[in-house]
Structure 1
Amino acid sequence: MTAIDRCALSYKTLLELTSGEHRRWRDWFVEHPNAWSVPFATGRMATVGGVVLHIFAVELRYTQRLLDQDVTTWEEFQQTSIEEVFELGDHARSQLVHFLTTAPEKELERVLTFQTLTAGTVSASKHKIASNIFLHDIRHWGQIATVLRQNGFADQWAHDLLLSDIKM
């Protein structure tokens, strides 16, 4: 066995890392409410707040798939305020924790086929779906941090795993 065979980031570590970032972002946005409306892209993600809603809505929808539940439609996501969006995030995260702490490891091998909003029909194992939740989260938060810095909101913290309190 070589180093490449070692799992670098367990779901437990990813939960710890991303949940900590969510808490810090919530507190930061409460202190910097004007940052919520900084322009970002178009459509649902026209503002930073829209991107945060997207992150948490995706987490909830994929977690609902992992739990074999009905998936919330995009039209049902009407949250706009910092408080409402982070409450959605807390709910999505609690559901993800429930799946990861109760599903037998074999359940991760199950392949689901589902329709996505932008990529058509996708087939993926529950392992891949669960892993994607974290990568999607980290990628978009990195984009948010960059856009906010470019718009004068540079008073952030170090977001790197290396600089976190997480023990590995």
Structure 2
Amino acid sequence: MDARVLELGTLAAYVEHETERWRQWFEAAPAEVLDLPLGRGADGTIRTLVKHIFAVELRYAQRLAGSPVSGYEQLADDTVEQLWRIHRTASSVRGRYLEGATAEALNRVLVSETRKLGRIESRAHTVLVHSLIHGIRHWAQIAMVLREHGHGGLWEHDWLLNPAVQ
């Protein structure tokens, strides 16, 4: 197995642990929290940003696996369960890809037609890393929006403290 796969597996475990904690938090929170606006200069709500995080995970996992890419508009986002279903599907596809990933597979160039950036050519390894760290960045945005609306007291998100990577 390529050493990069082991590192990516560790990063994926961190993401999975954090994402599960977010699911638990949103399940316990009032439903309207998902519809909080992201703030000045930002488009959308927490719901649209969570959907964006998970859609990126799913669509890149599908590209890595050589599967048809889901249409963004077809992904249901009415409930916490529907949103996290997108993530679970993405995680499953990504996990199967990682299980069989070889150095050759990780170096393969993927061509992606993205919604906002157009055509992108990247190595599979780069796509994997992006699909994992992309969400980390956006979850930090969500945490800040929640704090601004009085929903503090979230857990520590640091890599060093995550039990999935110990």
Fold-level similarity (TM above 0.5): yes
* Contact 1:57 1:88 (8 Å CA) reproduced: yes
Secondary structure in 2 matching 1:10: helix
Give me the CA root mean square deviation: 1.7
Instruction: Choose from 152, 163, 166 the match for 1:165.
Output: 163
Which residue does 1:51 correspond to in 2?
49
Matches within 5 A, 1:124-139: 124-139=122-137
Matches within 5 A, 1:73-92: 73-92=71-90
Q: List alignment gaps of at least 5 residues for structure 2.
A: none
Matches within 5 A, 1:63-142: 63-142=61-140
The offset of 1:107, in angstroms, is 0.3
Query: Take 1:87 and 1:112, find their aligned partners in 2: how far apart are those partners?
Result: 25
Instruction: Choose from 28, 32, 35 the match for 1:31.
Output: 28
- Cα gap change, 1:128/1:167 in structure 2, threshold over 3 Å: closer, same or farther? closer
* Contact 2:17 2:164 (8 Å CA) reproduced: no
**TM-score, normalised by the number of residues in structure 1:** 0.88
Which residue does 1:16 correspond to in 2?
13
Moved more, 32-41 or 68-77: 32-41
Q: Output the amino acid matched with 1:79.
A: D
Query: Take 1:84 and 1:159, find their aligned partners in 2: how far apart are those partners?
Result: 24
Query: Take 2:112 and 2:20, find their aligned partners in 1: how far apart are those partners?
Result: 31
Say which structure, 1 or 2, has more relative contact order (CA 8 Å, 6+ apart). Answer: 2
Which consecutive segments of 4 or more residues in structure 1 shift more than 6 A?
A: none
Secondary structure in 2 matching 1:113: strand
Which residue does 1:3 correspond to in 2?
none
The offset of 1:139, in angstroms, is 0.7
Q: How big is each residue's C-alpha offset from its partner over 1:92-145, in whole Å with a ceiling of 9 and x where there is no partner?
A: 111111111122231010001221111121110001101100110111111111
* Contact 2:50 2:83 (8 Å CA) reproduced: yes
**TM-score, normalised by the number of residues in structure 2:** 0.89
